[in-house]
Amino acid sequence: MSGGKAVADVVAIGCGPFNLGLAALASTVDDLDVVVLEARPELRWHSGVMFGDAVLQVNFLADLVTLVDPTHPLSFLAYLRDADRLYPFYVRERFHPTRREYEDYLRWAASRLPVRFSHTVTSARWADDRFVVSGPGFSVEGRHLVLGVGTAPSVPPALAGLGDRLVHSSDYLHRSPTADRVTVVGSGQSGAEIVLDLLRRNLDGGPAVTWLTRTPVFAPLDYTKLVLEMTTPSYVRHFHSLPQDRRDALRAEHWRHYRAISAETLEELHDLLYRREWEHGLAPVELRPGVAVASSAVDPASGEVVLTCAHRDTGRTFRHRTDLVVAATGYAQAPTPFLEPLEPHVRRDDQGRYVVALDHSIALDPPVTGRVFVANADLHSHGVAAPDLGIGAVRNATIVNAVTGREVYPLPEHTAYTSFSAPGGSGRRGDAGRGDDDD
């Protein structure tokens, strides 16, 4: 690096759980130097839906390190010990941490790792034999890059143009709605938790609530054990081995993994709806699945939001009037304008997506000898497990092994009882009877 500064082995852009986990695993490897750059001044994790009683949808083993190194000093259990909360957590007997607790764990880990906050990356380019990553007032050089910029709120065109009458779910608690009529568009866990909050307000004399979603039902997340094996490394390897058109078709079938609702939340919703039976004078509540919003506008005469909707079963269209729309419409991959200098070297598929290898590196032209890895930008290549916190440690261990050129962390092989591939396929086979013949 110019000016006598060392060249980092890895520069990780973005400090979410995945890149933080990479830094955690690297922190105990003597010859591996990882620097994490984060634009925000501090670590914040889904703060707009950080409800006080919200619980993580995976258990504490899906922390930054445990699933590849349970003895690591930055495990969730080490955090509990440091905070002197091991026994309260043990007696609680609910091994899914609250979201607030998990965010506190992430901050605890970040304070012990080489994370540089308030470092907004504006350029990443390849120069001779290294990447040069720069922004206002800084420049860092590294042999490899890891992109962990996460996702950004996505609002469909049908809801565009509503101005301050629209709140994305990611900003819900920052813009707590005070309107008389609130409509939530979209389901999934975030949408359900927002409706839950609105129903509690409704019971206290709060707003009228409408919930519209394209899905045919308010479906529960499928967390049955054998289905959960689709979030294991075994299924990731199988999914990645398939042709891209088959992967895309499978992704469409897997919507209940990330556009559905926990059974516990559905029960709470029903309990609140049942409680309304004994109350009088409350503002109305309406739940309508199977409804697509075709367009939206603000009525200049009344100031109301008017949604033009289509009932998917019957094809009937209708108009719905409300004062505020909460868009629980998910997220898209965050833009990466800082990669423009590298773009001529990046290979993409016919849909403009990265071509991602099994080790999470993207395809680059030969002049670039350094490697660029992606975290949670590989749903199309690695399947439904890509955004799952439970795969983060394995993905990061894979990256550590790739950049060091050796097996620093042995990767788990016996991860599923299900055999996902056809008998006699190529590649490694697991132990007999283990169901890992998809490896």
Q: What percent of the chain has pLDDT over 70?
A: 95
Q: Are 291 and 270 in contact (CB under 8 A)?
A: no
- Write down the pLDDT at residue 336: 93
What's the whole-number average pLDDT of the chain? 91
Which helix (H) or strand (E) is 199 found in, with range?
Answer: helix 188-203
More confident residue, 259 or 152: 152
pLDDT tier at 252 (50, 70, 90 boundaries)? Answer: confident
Residue-wise pLDDT tens digits, 19-72 = 999 999 999 999 999 999 999 999 988 877 778 788 888 899 999 999 999 999
Look at residue 194 and tell me whether its pLDDT is greater than 60: yes
pLDDT tier at 425 (50, 70, 90 boundaries)? Answer: low
Look at residue 163 and tell me whether its pLDDT is greater than 60: yes
- Write down the pLDDT at residue 374: 96
Q: Are 148 and 140 in contact (CB under 8 A)?
A: no
Spatial distance between the Cα atoms of 374 and 149, rounded to a whole number of angstroms: 9
Residue with tokens 């719905």: 320
More confident residue, 222 or 76: 76
pLDDT tier at 429 (50, 70, 90 boundaries)? Answer: very low
Residue with tokens 């764990």: 105
Range 123-132 contact pairs with CB under 8 angstroms and sequence separation of 24 or more: 123/338, 123/340, 123/341, 124/13, 124/338, 124/339, 124/341, 124/342, 125/341, 125/342, 126/341, 126/342, 126/345, 126/367, 126/368, 126/370, 129/369, 129/370, 130/1, 130/7, 130/370, 131/11, 131/370
Q: Is 248 exposed, middle or buried (0-12, 13-18, 19+ CB in 10 A)?
A: middle
Using alpha carbons, list the distances in angstroms from residue 238 to 34, 140, 231, 362.
Answer: 30, 37, 11, 18
Residue with tokens 């949408």: 191
Spatial distance between the Cα atoms of 1 and 167, rounded to a whole number of angstroms: 44
Return all residues near 26 (Cβ < 8 A) that are at least 6 apart: 10, 32, 33, 34, 400
∠ CA 344-387-227 to the nearest 5 degrees?
A: 135
Residue-wise pLDDT tens digits, 109-151 = 999 999 999 999 999 999 989 999 999 999 999 999 999 998 8
Task: Using DSSP bridges, classify how beta strands 138-147 and 8-13 pair: parallel, antiparallel or unpaired.
Answer: parallel
Spatial distance between the Cα atoms of 33 and 12, rounded to a whole number of angstroms: 11
Task: Using DSSP bridges, classify how beta strands 166-168 and 324-327 pair: parallel, antiparallel or unpaired.
Answer: parallel
Give the DSSP per-residue string, 229-249: GGGSHHHHHHHHTS-HHHHHH
Instruction: Specify the DSSP class assigned to residue 14.
Output: -
Residue-wise pLDDT tens digits, 344-373 = 999 999 999 999 999 999 999 999 999 999
Stated pTM of the model: 0.90
Helix, strand, coil fractions of the chain, as percent rounded to 5: 35, 20, 45
Look at residue 184 and tell me whether its pLDDT is greater than 60: yes
Instruction: Specify the DSSP class assigned to residue 282.
Output: P
Look at residue 4 and tell me whether its pLDDT is greater than 90: no
Residue-wise pLDDT tens digits, 198-238 = 999 999 999 999 999 999 999 888 888 999 999 999 999 99
Q: Which domains does the chain have, with CATH numbers?
A: 8-150+334-404 (3.50.50.60), 154-221+258-327 (3.50.50.60)
Look at residue 341 and tell me whether its pLDDT is greater than 60: yes
Mean pLDDT on 165-173:
93
Q: Is 3 exposed, middle or buried (0-12, 13-18, 19+ CB in 10 A)?
A: exposed
